[in-house]
Structure 1
C-alpha cells in the first residue's frame, strides 16, 4: 500500500508542477481557443491541462518500471507500453482538437485506434464475465466488445467536462473507490501480490487528478481539455478491463458470499459501471437527444446534465459539489456491498444498500432543491 501511495504522491507533484509550467506558457503565448456558445466560462482559458496530466502519469509509469515492487506488472512490458502508447495517441489528438477543433469522425477514429492498441498489443480484453461461468463467444467478439467499452467510457467522461473541477473531481472520487476495490479483490482471489495493473492505473489517475485540480477549481485557471478528459476515460476503462475482464469465474469462491452469491458474482461488473455511472448517463441522454433531433451523436449542445443544473438555479460550484456527492454515493454503495459481504459484516450487503438508498435520497433532495434563481434558458433552447 505504501508504494501505491508514493506513486500517487509522485504523480500529483509532477502533475501540479507541470500544470503550472503549461499554464504559464499558454498565457505567455496566448494559446487558448475563443469562447464557444455552449461554454460556461466567460474569460479565455487555456485548455492544455491534459498535457501535464499525461506527463504526470508517464512519470508514474517510469517510476514503476524501475521499482521492484511493481516487477509483476512489468514482467511482460507489452501491456504497459501498449497502454502508454495508446494514451499518448489520444492525448495528441485531444490537444489538436483543443487547439483546432477537429472533425468528430477524426476523433472517433483515433479513439478506435487507441482502444485497438490496448486490446491487440496490450492483450487486455474482456474474455469472460464472472457470472455463472459466462465467457465471451470468440476472440473477435471479445476484441469488439472491449474496444466499444473503452470508446464508450472515453466519450462518456469527455461529455461531462463542462464545469470547473467537474471531471477532475468526479474521476478522483471514482478512481479512489476503484483503487480500494481492485486492491481488495486481488487480495480476495488469492493473488500472490497486491500489485496489479488495474490498481496501478487507478492510483496514478488519483495522483494526476489531485495535482491538476488546484488549477481547475472554480474559477479555473486552466482546463484539461479533450486531451485530459479522453485520457482519463481511456485509462479508467483500461483499468476496469484489466481486472474485471480477466477474472475467471472459479476465482470467486461462492462460499465467501453466503446467501448473496448472486450479488457477489455481479459486483466485479457493477462497480466499474457504478464509478462511471454519471458520465454514462449523460452520454446516453446526449446520444438519444441528438439522434432524435436528426443530428450527429457527437454534435455539441448546451443540454448536458451540468447545464441543466445551472438552469435549475445551482451555482457552478454547487452543481460540481452535487456531482461529487452522486459519484461518491453510487460508488461507495457498491463498494460497501462488496466489503460487507466479503468480511461477513452483520447485515452484509444490506449495509451498502442502506447507504445507497439514504445517500441517493439525500442527493435527490439537494439536486432538485430550488436554487436562489433560475438561469434564463437561451431562446434557441426554449420549448
Structure 2
C-alpha cells in the first residue's frame, strides 16, 4: 500500500507544480479561448489543465517503472507503453480542441485510434466474472474493449462543465475502485499486490488531487477536453484491466470464510457493477444527451446547454452546490457497491444505499423544496396593516 501511496503522491505533486507553471504561461501568452454560449463561467479561463495531468501521469508511471515492486507490471508486456502512447495521443487531440475547436468527427476518430492502441496491445475484456462468461473471439473482445473505452471517454467529457466536477468525481470514483481492487487482490490470494489496474487508479487519484487547487471553485484553470478525455481513457483502462481479466472461477473459490466466499453472488457481480456505478452519472448524462440530440436531428456530439449540471443550475443550485450534488451521488453509489463487497451481512450496504439515495435526492431537489416552503411561509404571514396618512385620520 505504501508503494501505491508514494506513486499517488508523486503524481499529485508533479501535477500541481506543472499546473501552476502552465497557468502562468497560459495567462502570459493569452492561451484562453473566448467564452461560449453554453459556458457557465464569465471570464476567459485557460483550459490546459489536461497538460499538467498528463505530465503527472507520465512522471508517476516512469517512477513506478524503476521501482522494483512494480516490475511485474512492466516486465514482458506492451500494455504500459500502449497506455502512455494512447494518453499522449488523446491529450494532444484534446488540447488542440481546447485551443482551436476541432470538428467532432476528428475527435471521435482520434478516440477510436487511442482505444484501439490499448486494445491491440492486450488490455481487453476477455471475460466477465458472471457464471464463467467469456468473450467469444479475439475480434469481439477487441471491438468490445474499444467501444467501452470510447464510451467512457465521451461520458466523462460530457460532464466537464463546472469547476472541479470531473476531477472531483474521478477522485472519489478511483479512490473507491482502488480500495476495491486492492481488497480483490488480497481475497483472491494473487501472487503479487501490484498490477496495471491498481497502478492506473493510484496515478489517477494523484493527478486529480494535484489539479484540484487550481480547478476547484473558483477555477483558475480548467482541465479541458485534454484532461477529461485523459481521465476517461485511464478510468476505462483501469476497469478493463481489473474486470475483464479476473478469473471467473476464482470468485467462487475464494474460501469458506473469505469475503467473496461468504457472498459469492454479490462477489460475482461487484466486478461488473462497480465500474458502471462509479460512472453512472457521466453515462446517464451521455445517454440523455445523445438521445436528445438525435431526436432533434442533430449530431450526437453537438454542443448544447442541457447537460445534467446545466439542469442543476437551472433548478436553482449554486455553482458549488451543483458540483457537490455530483460528488454526493458518486460517493453514495460507489461506496454502497464497495460495502456490499466488504461488509457482512450485505444488507448493511443496501441500507446505506437507501439512506444515501434519500439524502442525495433531497439535496438534489432542495431548491424546489426551498421555494415551496418560502411560498407557504409568505402565505401564512398576514399582511401588515397600512399606517394611515394624516389626511385619513379623523
Partner of 2:357: 360
User: How far apart, CA to CA, are the structure 2 residues paired with 1:297 and 1:101?
Assistant: 16
CA deviation after TM superposition for structure 1 residue 188, in Å: 1.2
Structure 2 residue 23 is the aligned partner of structure 1 residue 20: no
Measured against aligned partners, the alpha-carbon deviations of 1:87-124 in whole angstroms (never above 9, x if no partner) come to 00000000100000001100000000000000002x01
What SS does the corresponding residue of 2:73 show, helix, strand or coil?
coil
User: How far apart, CA to CA, are the structure 2 residues paired with 1:327 and 1:299?
Assistant: 26
Structure 2 residue 310 is the aligned partner of structure 1 residue 311: no
Matches within 5 A, 1:126-165: 126-165=125-164
What SS does the corresponding residue of 1:303 show, helix, strand or coil?
coil
Partner of 1:113: 113
What SS does the corresponding residue of 2:52 show, helix, strand or coil?
helix
CA deviation after TM superposition for structure 1 residue 165, in Å: 0.6
TM-score, normalised on structure 1? 0.94
Measured against aligned partners, the alpha-carbon deviations of 1:250-280 in whole angstroms (never above 9, x if no partner) come to 1112555467432221111000111111100
Matches within 5 A, 1:181-192: 181-192=180-191
Partner of 2:69: 69
CA contact (8 A) 1:159 1:282 kept: yes
Gaps of 5+ in 2: 373-394
Partner of 2:264: 261
Structure 2 residue 353 is the aligned partner of structure 1 residue 350: no
CA contact (8 A) 1:313 1:373 kept: no
TM-score, normalised on structure 2? 0.91
Measured against aligned partners, the alpha-carbon deviations of 1:282-301 in whole angstroms (never above 9, x if no partner) come to 00111111111111110010
Partner of 1:209: 208
Measured against aligned partners, the alpha-carbon deviations of 1:41-85 in whole angstroms (never above 9, x if no partner) come to 010000000000000010011000100010110112410000000
Structure 2 residue 327 is the aligned partner of structure 1 residue 330: no
Partner of 1:55: 55
User: How far apart, CA to CA, are the structure 2 residues paired with 1:321 and 1:221?
Assistant: 19
Partner of 2:384: none
* Number of corresponding residues: 367
Structure 2 residue 47 is the aligned partner of structure 1 residue 44: no
CA deviation after TM superposition for structure 1 residue 10, in Å: 0.8
Matches within 5 A, 1:210-229: 210-229=209-228
User: How far apart, CA to CA, are the structure 2 residues paired with 1:3 and 1:373?
Assistant: 50
Partner of 1:172: 171
CA contact (8 A) 2:252 2:261 kept: no
User: How far apart, CA to CA, are the structure 2 residues paired with 1:193 and 1:171?
Assistant: 26
User: How far apart, CA to CA, are the structure 2 residues paired with 1:179 and 1:339?
Assistant: 13
* Bigger Rg over Cα: 2
User: How far apart, CA to CA, are the structure 1 residues paired with 2:348 and 2:103?
Assistant: 47
User: How far apart, CA to CA, are the structure 2 residues paired with 1:76 and 1:327?
Assistant: 36
Q: CA RMSD in A?
A: 1.3
User: How far apart, CA to CA, are the structure 1 residues paired with 2:137 and 2:321?
Assistant: 47
Partner of 1:272: 275
